[in-house]
Structure 1
Amino acid sequence: MLALSQLPKNVKQYLIITGNYWAFTLTDGALRMLVVLYFHDLGYSPLSIAMLFLFYEFFGVVTNLVGGWLGARIGLNKTMNIGLALQILALGMLLFDASWLTVPWVMAAQALSGIAKDLNKMSAKSSIKVLVPDNANQALYKWVALLTGSKNALKGIGFFLGGALLALFEFHGAILIMWVALVIVWLFSLWALKEDLGKAKYKPKFKDLLSKSRAINTLSAARLFLFGARDVWFVVALPVYLSVTLDWNHWLVGGFMATWIVGYGIIQAFAPHFTGKKQGKTPDGRAALLWALVLTLIPASIALSLNSFEQWNTIILIGGLMLFGALFAINSSLHSYLIVLYAKEDGVSLDVGFYYMANAMGRLIGTILSGLLFESYGLVVCLWVSSGFILITSVLSISLPRHKE
């Protein structure tokens, strides 16, 4: 505690923001798994389950765009606390009697949760740019990778937590436990976060929402297709396939999804070691292109193998998705570093918010396609579309800036 008290103010504020982000991430992952499994048990079709997340992803698009502007005007501490409050409200909406849990009601709760999640993510990611000195690119990459990786590892634990809480306490009991825990975190955050970290020196106008940087626009478009490629099979198709086709119970589905996300997060945290740290290099647009090209091959290979070796489908699917997760983690970590690198320091949340707006749009497209394609054509088609999306990411990455020799 003494060591923590002696840290600079900005660092202590950032550590509190990171802790808030982690706590929020646990509830976000758990809530996602709870909703998928609970409403599947109620007899909802894959497309109907996907539609429950429609507003979650749609309002993520809006929140990242407006939230970046808001963070630059009022400070990232305030946007963080607003996000926590909205997640508490979203969980509270799901505590009502089961007769209230209609599709429109759950979609509204998920809309609030989507706004909350992206306010939290934008606040945490933007803070790094403010705290790391100019031109300390290796340090910047390391801290971005650690934050992103730890967040996704905790989200994976949240997936497992959601499946476990549903099995042990049923839906309403699980939601109540998460609601109480997050209220405690929010009250501490209101007391502890006092600095206007990330507040711009100028008052950005609403017209400043759209990025004027070619590099940020290109990276944002690449990010859209990258995350669309993941969610087209991950959000609805995979958990329903594991539950229905492979006859896995809630514990197994939640455990597998959790393992995938935790492993994905760990590799994200260590991404600098795979992309040039030993040679004293930081990645550029060339690295983003090469890693995307490699990733393109994985979903296509899984799809071909599932059709050719049906007796080995379980091993092929699990092994293939683990490999996909490892390579996707490196791609995601590279992108997360590049956006913070490209962003302007003054009003950094404007550029970061615009970028994660594209990220949310990719998730929205992937979520809708996940339910639609799986219900109509099955998991194999979802994997082919995933491969096609990553190929588009590769093509866009060709024009990303590269280091001058």
Structure 2
Amino acid sequence: MSWLAQLSPEIRQYMVVTGNYWAFTLTDGALRMLVVLHFHGLGYSPLEIAMLFLFYEVFGVVTNLIGGWLGARLGLNKTMNIGLFLQVIALVMLLVPAAWLTIPWVMGAQAVSGIAKDLNKMSAKSSIKLLVPANAEGQLYKWVAILTGSKNALKGAGFFLGGALLSLFGFEGAIIGMASALSLVWIFSLISLKKDMGKAKNKPKFTEIFSKSKAINYLSAARMFLFGSRDVWFVVALPVYLASTFGWDHWYVGGFLAAWVIGYGFVQGIAPKITGTKNDQSPDGRNALGWAMILGITPVLIALALSFKWYPQEALLGGLLIFGALFAINSSLHSYLIVSYAGEDGVSLDVGFYYMANAMGRLIGTVLSGWLFQEYGLAICLWVSAGFIFLTALISIGLPKHENPMAENKA
């Protein structure tokens, strides 16, 4: 362990933050797959399954707004540890007798999990801004990409873990194992995280939770439609379609979605190499616009293949891989831009506002995923996805085309 002691305090804190984020994400992905597959097996309709996640997304919207303010006042170490603890509570809530696992109760557990997830994510993303030296934009982009990409790779592993645990140990056994492991991570985090990390020098007022930055407002709006474009077909419609239309069992559904998200996370991690610009300049609004336009082509082609029954299984699975890679680049660009745009003091306020829009996009996508798939099928979900990506590209036209937009927008 001598090599660990030789690392700078910033690197050690980055490792603790990333480790917390990894552990949380693994349980979050597993829990989502557990709930989707378990309640689909019990005969719940796609719309009813989508409703189970309604409060998860609703409280994610609220949490990002309030969580950013809390992080600036209390410190990011506290908000991260609160998030870990609440996830343990959410898991324990699902250990009640089977007769109690009604839709309102599961929605309540998912609400607690949604609060936990966004407290944890906001804390992790905001911490990166504080651990990277000022003006080191290239390093900032790489660290954000590594954190985001590794997180999504582990979320994919969580999907596979959820399907595997459900098949091997049943719903209750899977929940007990995850709650126990995450409790140990929470205890380690309480001991290891630096005190008062991210606490603002000037205590922000509650009225400051809404961003006054033009750059952040444009980016947040683009992010909302970007994530709505993914979740409108990925969250409920896709796993149910794979299980009902292709006849895949829990292992296949969980395994495929896991592989997809792991690959998606890998591409996010190497996005700085893929999006490298001339003269080693950091990405700006032009990059976000260009990659959004490329992404929008994919759901259109998949929808056409499904509508005309042109090798539907091959088109769907192959198109998914292409969509995942392109979406990962878009997401990684956005994740870098928000951390770059955010102010140094009270960084969690700007990051929290941005992830509030992210959660709003997931909320819209989740509800539409269940309703549109149940009423019209997967192809319609894909057409809506393409429309959302078009709106993302349209909004991205307004993003700054220079490296330091905050000087202009916050002047």
Same fold flag (TM > 0.5)? yes
1:356 — aligned with what?
A: 355
Alignment check: 8 A CA contact 2:284 2:403 kept: no
2:276 & 2:293 partners in 1: Cα distance?
Answer: 18
Choose 185-194 or 257-266, whichever is displaced more. Answer: 185-194
1:121 — aligned with what?
A: 121
Secondary structure of 2:280 counterpart: coil
Alignment check: 8 A CA contact 1:36 1:236 kept: yes
Alignment of 1:7-18 (within 5 A): 7-18=7-18
2:407 — aligned with what?
A: none
2:92 matched to 1:105? no
1:155 & 1:404 partners in 2: Cα distance?
Answer: 31
2:253 — aligned with what?
A: 253
Deviation string, structure 1 residues 183-214 (Cα, Å, up to 9, x no partner): 11111111222421111111011011000000
Choose 133-142 or 238-247, whichever is displaced more. Answer: 133-142
1:273 & 1:191 partners in 2: Cα distance?
Answer: 36
1:33 — aligned with what?
A: 33
2:275 matched to 1:309? no
Alignment check: 8 A CA contact 1:306 1:313 kept: yes
Alignment check: 8 A CA contact 1:343 1:352 kept: yes
Alignment check: 8 A CA contact 1:13 1:195 kept: no
Alignment of 1:337-352 (within 5 A): 337-352=336-351
Opposite residue 286 of structure 1, the aligned amino acid is R
1:267 & 1:116 partners in 2: Cα distance?
Answer: 26
Choose 251-260 or 1-10, whichever is displaced more. Answer: 1-10
Deviation string, structure 1 residues 95-151 (Cα, Å, up to 9, x no partner): 111111000000000000000000000011001111111211111111110100000
2:223 & 2:375 partners in 1: Cα distance?
Answer: 26
1:252 & 1:154 partners in 2: Cα distance?
Answer: 18
Alignment check: 8 A CA contact 2:84 2:182 kept: yes
Secondary structure of 2:44 counterpart: coil
Opposite residue 364 of structure 1, the aligned amino acid is L
Residues 404 and 158 (structure 1), Cα distance of their counterparts in 2 relative to 1, 3 Å cut: closer
1:183 & 1:286 partners in 2: Cα distance?
Answer: 43
Residues 404 and 24 (structure 1), Cα distance of their counterparts in 2 relative to 1, 3 Å cut: closer
The offset of 1:305, in angstroms, is 1.3
Opposite residue 362 of structure 1, the aligned amino acid is G
Alignment of 1:279-358 (within 5 A): 279-310=279-310, 312-358=311-357
2:255 & 2:398 partners in 1: Cα distance?
Answer: 39
Alignment of 1:271-286 (within 5 A): 271-276=271-276, 279-286=279-286
1:3 & 1:218 partners in 2: Cα distance?
Answer: 43
| RMSD between superposed Cα atoms in Å | 1.2
1:169 — aligned with what?
A: 169
The offset of 1:281, in angstroms, is 2.4
Deviation string, structure 1 residues 350-394 (Cα, Å, up to 9, x no partner): 000000000000000000000000000000000000000000000
2:398 matched to 1:378? no
The offset of 1:404, in angstroms, is 7.2
1:371 & 1:279 partners in 2: Cα distance?
Answer: 46
Opposite residue 20 of structure 1, the aligned amino acid is N
The offset of 1:166, in angstroms, is 0.2
Opposite residue 325 of structure 2, the aligned amino acid is A
Residues 399 and 277 (structure 1), Cα distance of their counterparts in 2 relative to 1, 3 Å cut: closer
**Uncovered stretches (5+) of structure 2, i.e. residues with no partner:** 405-411
1:6 & 1:61 partners in 2: Cα distance?
Answer: 40
1:157 & 1:349 partners in 2: Cα distance?
Answer: 28
Deviation string, structure 1 residues 218-240 (Cα, Å, up to 9, x no partner): 00000000000000000000000
2:408 — aligned with what?
A: none
Opposite residue 8 of structure 1, the aligned amino acid is S
Alignment length, in residue pairs?
Answer: 404
Secondary structure of 1:155 counterpart: helix
1:404 & 1:175 partners in 2: Cα distance?
Answer: 45
1:279 & 1:257 partners in 2: Cα distance?
Answer: 37
Alignment check: 8 A CA contact 1:10 1:197 kept: no
2:54 — aligned with what?
A: 54
1:334 & 1:369 partners in 2: Cα distance?
Answer: 26
Opposite residue 32 of structure 2, the aligned amino acid is R
2:181 — aligned with what?
A: 181
2:33 & 2:45 partners in 1: Cα distance?
Answer: 16
Alignment check: 8 A CA contact 1:46 1:240 kept: yes
1:309 & 1:346 partners in 2: Cα distance?
Answer: 54
The offset of 1:46, in angstroms, is 0.1
Alignment check: 8 A CA contact 2:55 2:111 kept: yes
The offset of 1:336, in angstroms, is 0.2
Opposite residue 283 of structure 1, the aligned amino acid is P
2:403 & 2:183 partners in 1: Cα distance?
Answer: 49
Choose 222-231 or 270-279, whichever is displaced more. Answer: 270-279
2:403 & 2:4 partners in 1: Cα distance?
Answer: 40
2:198 — aligned with what?
A: 198
